[in-house]
């Protein structure tokens, strides 16, 4: 009987490897730039955006960033029965935001404006706010969902956006 117990113990120790639960530590992307395509949001219809990290604290739980974008409306019409855009309107969103939170999930809060322009003589400025949720994956993929209300013709308009993009660095080998 003792021989059977020793054999079972030996087999168990030899063939069974211990399994440990580990919490993987998140390593944020090291690039200081983002580009992304936003549908809705501050660009109203869609926009292609460039974002620059202006400040990031040592714990990487507070980041201040600036953003500029470009969009073009090829059709005339009302978007979701809320926003009328003429055909050929250029959209330029400008914003400054703060990202709050450690890890890959961040709360985004910011303000900005969107310049709508059909010609150099015809332009309109729409103040906008940003409240959103952002996920920055370790491989640099960025996903955002935002509530982006703006004021147009004295009227408060609720608006939402979804973005997908990539974090990068201008220095080779620095972005993960």
CATH class, domain 28-168, is: mainly beta
Element (H, E) at 40: strand 33-40
Residues in CB range of 120: below 8 A, 6 or more apart? none
How high is the pLDDT of residue 174?
45
Strand partners, 63: 56, 99
In angstroms, the CA 145 to CA 64 distance is: 18
Give pLDDT tens digits along the chain (176 positions): 666 655 665 555 555 555 544 445 655 666 789 999 999 999 998 999 999 999 988 888 899 999 999 999 988 888 777 888 888 999 999 999 999 998 889 999 999 999 999 887 889 999 999 999 999 888 889 999 999 999 998 899 999 999 999 988 766 554 44
Pair of tokens at residue 72 = 């073009």
The angle formed by the CA atoms of residues 26, 31 and 36, to the nearest 5 degrees, is 100
pTM, to two decimals: 0.76
């Amino acid at each position: 009987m003792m021989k059977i117990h020793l054999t079972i113990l030996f087999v168990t120790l030899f063939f069974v490897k211990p399994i440990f639960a580990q919490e993987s530590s998140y390593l944020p992307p090291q690039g200081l730039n983002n580009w992304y395509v936003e549908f809705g949001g501050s660009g109203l219809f869609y926009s292609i955006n460039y974002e620059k990290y202006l400040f990031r604290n040592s714990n990487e739980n507070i980041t201040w960033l600036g953003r500029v974008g470009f969009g073009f409306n090829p059709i005339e019409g009302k978007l979701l029965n809320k926003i009328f855009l003429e055909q050929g309107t250029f959209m330029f969103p400008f914003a400054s935001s703060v990202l709050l939170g450690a890890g890959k999930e961040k709360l985004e809060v910011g303000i900005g404006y969107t310049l709508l322009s059909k010609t150099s003589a015809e332009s309109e400025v729409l103040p906008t706010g940003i409240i959103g949720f952002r996920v920055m994956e370790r491989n640099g993929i960025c996903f955002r969902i935002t509530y982006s209300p703006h004021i147009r013709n004295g009227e408060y308009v609720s608006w939402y956006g979804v973005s997908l993009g990539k974090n990068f660095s201008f220095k080779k080998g620095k972005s993960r």
